[in-house]
Chain A
Amino acid sequence: GENVEQHPSTLSVQEGDSAVIKCTYSDSASNYFPWYKQELGKGPQLIIDIRSNVGEKKDQRIAVTLNKTAKHFSLHITETQPEDSAVYFCAASITGNQFYFGTGTSLTVIP
C-alpha cells in the first residue's frame, strides 16, 4: 500500500516567519493530497488540498506544492500567527481507495 512520510515532527517558528512541512509518498497512482490542521481536543480539519494535475495551489497565507516526479508535496505557511499553532497532517489517496496519513507535525508559533 501507500506510505506517506512527513517531516519534521516538530517545528517552532517566530511569529511572522514562514513554516514549511514536507511529505513524501510512495505510490505514483496517488492523485489527491490534502493537508489537515488539528487543534487540541478536536478532529482534523482540511486547510488546503491539491490534485495530481496541479503543481501549486495557494489560499491566502497557505500554499501547497506538488512534485509528482519526486513524489513529494509541501505545505507553506507565510506570516505565521500564534493561531497557526496546531498539529498538521498530510495525506495521500487514490480515486476509489483509502486515505493514507503522515505522522503529523506539531507547529508552535512563538509570539
Chain B
Amino acid sequence: NAGVTQTPKFQVLKTGQSMTLQCAQDMNHEYMSWYRQDPGMGLRLIHYSVGAGITDQGEVPNGYNVSRSTTEDFPLRLLSAAPSQTSVYFCASSLDSTETQYFGPGTRLLVL
C-alpha cells in the first residue's frame, strides 16, 4: 500500500492563479480531509468528506473547493490564490472520524 499520497510536494503561485492539490489513498478509507498548517496555529481543517459524493466544510473553508467523485481521490482546489493561503497542506484519511487518521507527506504552497 502506498498509503496517502499528495502532489505536488512544493508549488509557487502568483496571486490570482488557480491550482489543484491532489490527494489519493489506497486503503479504501471513507473519511478524507484537508488541513492547513501554519506556525503556532496547529492543524486547521479546511474540508472533509465522509464518503464519495459527500463533502462538508471545516474550520477554514473560504477560498477552497473540494469534490469526492471516488473513494480514492480528494482534490483540493484553490480558486484564486492569495498570499494568506501560503501554508503547508496535509491530506489525511481514515475509516471514519473515530479511527486512526493517516496523513500524507504534505504540499508546501507559496503564494506571491
Contact of A94 with B by CB under 8 A:
yes
Contact between chains at A99 and B101 (CB < 8 Å): yes
Contact of B96 with A by CB under 8 A:
yes
Contact between chains at B103 and A93 (CB < 8 Å): no
Most chain A CB inside 10 Å of its own CB: which residue of B42, B48, B58, B92: B42
Contact between chains at A46 and B100 (CB < 8 Å): yes
- Given the complex, which residues of B lie within 8 Å of A51, measured CB to CB? 98
- Given A95-B96, A96-B96, A98-B58, verify A103-B40 contact (CB < 8 Å): yes
Contact of A81 with B by CB under 8 A:
no
A100 vs chain B, min Cβ distance (A): 8
Contact of B2 with A by CB under 8 A:
no
Against A, the Cβ 8 Å flags (1 = close, 0 = not) of B30-62 are 000101000011111100101000001011000
B98 vs chain A, min Cβ distance (A): 4
Partner of B43, one of A32, A44, A95, A97: A44
- Given the complex, which residues of B lie within 8 Å of A96, measured CB to CB? 50, 96-97
- A34 to B44 CA separation, bound complex (whole angstroms): 15
- A41 to B4 CA separation, bound complex (whole angstroms): 16
- Given the complex, which residues of B lie within 8 Å of A42, measured CB to CB? 105-106
- A96 to B99 CA separation, bound complex (whole angstroms): 11
- A102 to B40 CA separation, bound complex (whole angstroms): 10
Contact of B90 with A by CB under 8 A:
yes
Instruction: With CB as the reference atom, state the residue of chain A lying closest to B4.
Output: A43
Show the binding face of B for A, using Cβ within 8 Å.
4, 33, 35, 40-45, 48, 50, 56, 58-59, 90, 92, 96-106
* 10 CB-based A-B contacts, threshold 8 Å: A31-B98, A36-B103, A43-B105, A89-B43, A93-B97, A96-B50, A99-B33, A99-B101, A100-B45, A101-B35
